[in-house]
Structures are given as C-alpha cells and as structure tokens.
Amino acid sequence: MKLSTAQTIYLRWISQGKSLLNIAEIEKKHVSDIQQHLDAAIVALNVTSLSAAVAKAKALKLI
C-alpha cells in the first residue's frame, strides 16, 4: 500500500489537529484540492473515514 506524497503530508497535518482550511493556507492550495487528496487516501487505505485513515497510516508507519 502506497500513498502519494501529498496524501502523506495532508494526513500528517490532520494527525496534528490541523483543519482543511489550515492545511490549505499552509500549503497554499484550495481546500477542494486538499479534500480530493484526503478522499483518495481514504480509498487507498481501504477505510471509511478520515480518522480511520490517520490511524491506519500511523499503524502502517506511513506517517
């Protein structure tokens, strides 16, 4: 299982308590771009929520 660089970065930000708006401001991207990457990460990790994606990515040492 592999995540893109963007997916990894955004999941790491989420794990640190950042909101989508915070991440968009930090990364100078649109919120919709961040959401697309996070949605793709949820699919890639075969989970149903963002919190589950963060937990699984941590368990797999991806973030």
pLDDT 10s digits, 7-56: 999 999 999 999 999 999 999 999 999 999 999 999 999 999 999 999 99
Place of tokens 């991440």: 23
pTM here? 0.91
Please report the domains of the chain, with CATH numbers, ordered by start residue: 5-59 (1.10.10.10)
3-state SS assignment for residue 46:
coil
Cβ neighbours for 28, distance < 8 A, ≥ 6 positions apart: none
Q: What is the pLDDT of residue 34?
A: 97
